[in-house]
Amino acid sequence: MIDFGAIGQGAVVFPLGGPLGGPTDEDWMDVALGLAARGLGRVWPNPSVGCVLVSADGRVVGRGWTQPGGRPHAEREALDRAGPLARGATAHVTLEPCNHHGKTPPCAEALINAGVSRVVVALSDPDKRVSGRGLARLKEAGIQVRVGVREGEAKALNLGFLLHRIKGRPLVTLKVATSLDGRIATATGHSQWITGPAAREQGHRLRATHDAIAVGIGTALADDPTLTCRLPGLEDRSPVRVVFDSRARLPLDGALIRSADQVPLWIVTGPETSVDRGAALEERGVLVLSVAGDGAGRPRVEAALSALAERGITRLLVEGGGDLAGAFLAARLVDRLVWFRAPMVIGGDGKGAIAAFGVDRLADSAQFSARARFDAGVDLVERFDASDPLFAVDLSLGISLSETE
C-alpha cells in the first residue's frame, strides 16, 4: 500500500508480481497512481490522473498522466502511446473516465474506440458531469469494469479535486518549520535558517505539488519573499502566490510584485481596501480578490477559500505566518499539517509558530492523526491529517501510514 498523499511526488515503481507470480490489478494501479502524482500542482482545476494499459500477456503497451494545464487527459496520453496495441488491453485508471464533451472528446469514448477489453478504476468521479456516466458508458459498450481498486490511495492523492467538487474549496496543507519547542524565530526575529538544506528542499517539493501558496501580510512584509519553487529542474513548478492582506499593504516595489509578470500573484483583501490601492496593484499584474471580512476586517478564511476555488485552485499550501496559521486552524480548515522540526531549542522568548486561536479546553483543540514521519538531513518531517470525524465520513478516506518518495 502506497500513501500518495505524503510529501513529494509518487515514485513510479513497476510491479514484481502477485502471489501467483503475475502483477495484480492492485499492482498496476500503484503504477497508475505514481504516474498521476506527477501532475499534482500542474493540472488545476482538473484532477491529476494516471493510466496504464496492459496487454493480455502482461506487457505495458501505453501509459499516461494528465498533462500541464489539465489536457490531454491521462487516458488519451496512454492510448496515443499504445496505438493499435491498445486493442484487447486492460486500462488501469485512477479516476473514472469522463463521458462529457468539453475541450476534448470523452475519455470513455476514446477507450471504447481503441478496443480495450477491460477497465479497472480506482475511484468514481464526483463531478456532476461524470459521476457514474463514464462507467455506465463503458459497460454499455460491453467492456468489463472493476471499480474501487486502491480507492483510498486515489482519494488521498486527489483530495484537493474531491474537496473542490464536493465542498467548493481546495485542500489546505499547513506547513510549519520550527525548533523542537515550536519556535520559528528568536526574540530578535532571527530565523534563517532553523531547518537545514534537506528540509528546505522538501519544502520546495511541497510548493511544486500545490496549485497555490499562501502567506499573511506580516510574513510578506518581514521577509520580502518570492515564494517560488527553486529546485533545479522544477523552476517552472512555482505555484500561484497568494497574500492575505486585509488592507492591501503589500509594497509595490517588493519582490512579490516585481515578479508578478513571471509567476501569478493574487492578493486576498478585506472589504476595507481602497479602490485606488486595488487599482495600483492590478496595474502591476496582481489579481485582487476582495472577500467578506471578519469582525476585525480581515478576510474570512472560508470566503477566501471559496474565492480561490472559483478560480480553479484545488490544492493550497499555507506557509506562514503564525496569525494566518491560527486563523485556518480556528476555522477548522487545515486538512494536512506538515511539521518540520529542527534539533534545537530556542526558548519561551522566541516567536511561536501559531498564534492563539481561542482554545480554552483540550476538546476545543485542532485534532490530527499522524500519517508519515521521516528524516530530512538532521531535521524531522512529520505529516498529520485532520481527524474531524465528519471530514473522514464525507470522503471515506482509507489512507496508508507509509511514506512515499
Task: Quote the CA–CA distance of 372 and 116 in Å, as a whole number.
Answer: 37
Task: Quote the CA–CA distance of 185 and 193 in Å, as a whole number.
Answer: 9
Task: Quote the CA–CA distance of 160 and 131 in Å, as a whole number.
Answer: 17
Task: Quote the CA–CA distance of 206 and 220 in Å, as a whole number.
Answer: 19
Q: Is 345 exposed, middle or buried (0-12, 13-18, 19+ CB in 10 A)?
A: exposed
- 3-class secondary-structure state, position 198: helix
- 3-class secondary-structure state, position 328: helix
Under a CB-based contact definition with an 8 Å cutoff, are residues 6 and 404 in contact?
A: yes
Which ranges of 254-298 does DSSP label H, i.e. alpha helix? 255-258, 275-283
> Quick one: cell of 202?
522538501
Task: Quote the CA–CA distance of 365 and 361 in Å, as a whole number.
Answer: 7
Task: Quote the CA–CA distance of 368 and 357 in Å, as a whole number.
Answer: 16
Q: Which of 75, 77, 96, 151 is catalytic?
A: 75
Under a CB-based contact definition with an 8 Å cutoff, are residues 81 and 109 in contact?
A: no
Helix/strand/coil percentages in the chain, nearest 5: 30, 20, 50
Q: What is the DSSP letter of 387?
A: -
Q: Decide if 75 is catalytic.
A: yes
Sequence-ordered list of residues with C-beta below 8 angstroms from that of 4, at least 6 positions apart, any chain? 10, 33, 34, 36, 37, 153, 156, 157, 404
Under a CB-based contact definition with an 8 Å cutoff, are residues 16 and 42 in contact?
A: no
Burial state string for 152-174 with b = 16 or more CB within 10 A and e = fewer than 16: bbbbbbbbbbbbbbebebbbbbb
Task: Using CA atoms of 393, 397, 402, 405 in order, give the dihedral in degrees to the nearest 10.
Answer: -130
**Any idea which residues carry the catalytic annotation?**
75
